[in-house]
Amino acid sequence: MATGIEQLKQQAAERAVDFIQSGMVVGLGTGSTAVFAVRRIGALLAEGRLQRIVGIPTSNATAREAQRAGIPLGSLDDHPVVDVTVDGADEIDPQLNLIKGLGGALLREKIVAVASRRLVIVADDGKRVEQLGVRGPVPVEVVGFAVRPAAMYLASLGARVVERHKDGRPFVTDEGNRILDCHFAGLPNPQEIAQLIRAQPGVVEHGLFLGMATEAVVAGERGMVVLER
């Protein structure tokens, strides 16, 4: 089963790379699906089928992967407008609203997404949901000083809050923050909950990406579809 899912992710990622043209500034997403896109871009550069690409990585891990793939990297200081970003998602609803951040890079991912003319999401069809928040948590990035009060506040919004750990210790993002995974029983009004989450001091960002994706390339056992907002 795992091998089949990985193949679907790879198919979707490689199809999404078709949106990239030579000379573009490209946002490079984070996670197990986005890494296939990074590798595909590197292969096309090596073959000469893509040229003059500048990659904007959304995490330190993606930067390392891009360097291994031979993708020249830049920053938003030098390239504040990104032509297209290819990234994964943890949940995708029918309006192409997303939950992202299970890979721990939601802050940089959202910064790059907002700077992008197009945000192309790649996923297997298991990520499609009718309503956000029915399967997995909404990650919320908070400063370390605010973990406890932020957790209490998020619980007051109806979430079951679990601080993320890795190797027995609190998970720390590339920006030095912590992540609270907020389990809701579905989000019928994600815009409202997004505003409420941001209202708490100490909250840096949340994993609700609403109205940002322009396309989603979704691969399943019955084939591949490109969804557009």
User: pLDDT tens, 135-189?
Assistant: 999 999 999 999 999 999 999 999 999 999 999 999 999 999 999 999 999 999 9
User: What does the DSSP 8-state code read for residue 109?
Assistant: H
Q: Is 109 a catalytic residue?
A: yes
Better-scored residue on pLDDT, 4 or 227: 227
User: pLDDT tens, 89-116?
Assistant: 999 999 999 999 999 999 999 999 999 9
Residues 171 and 174: their CA atoms lie apart, in Å, by 10
Cα distances from 38 to residues 54, 66, 128, in angstroms, run 12, 6, 23
Q: Which residues contact 37 (CB under 8 A, 6 or more apart)?
A: 13, 14, 16, 17, 28, 29, 86, 122
Domain residue extents for the chain:
2-129+210-221, 138-202
Which residue stretches of the chain are H helix? Answer: 2-16, 34-47, 60-69, 106-114, 147-156, 190-198
Find out if CATH 1.20.140.10 is the number for domain 2-129+210-221.
Answer: no
37: pLDDT confidence band, cut at 50, 70 and 90?
A: very high
In the predicted structure, residue 5 carries a pLDDT above the cut 90: no
Nearest to 207 by CA among 114, 135, 105: 105
User: pLDDT tens, 44-99?
Assistant: 999 999 999 999 999 999 999 999 999 999 999 999 999 999 999 999 999 999 99
User: What does the DSSP 8-state code read for residue 94?
Assistant: T
Residues 227 and 187: their CA atoms lie apart, in Å, by 21
Residues 116 and 162: their CA atoms lie apart, in Å, by 31
In the predicted structure, residue 201 carries a pLDDT above the cut 70: yes
The token pair at 87 is 């990234």
CATH class of the domain whose range is 138-202: alpha beta
Mean pLDDT of 15-19: 96
Residues 144 and 51: their CA atoms lie apart, in Å, by 42
In the predicted structure, residue 1 carries a pLDDT above the cut 50: no
Pick the catalytic residue: 14, 65, 91, 109? 109
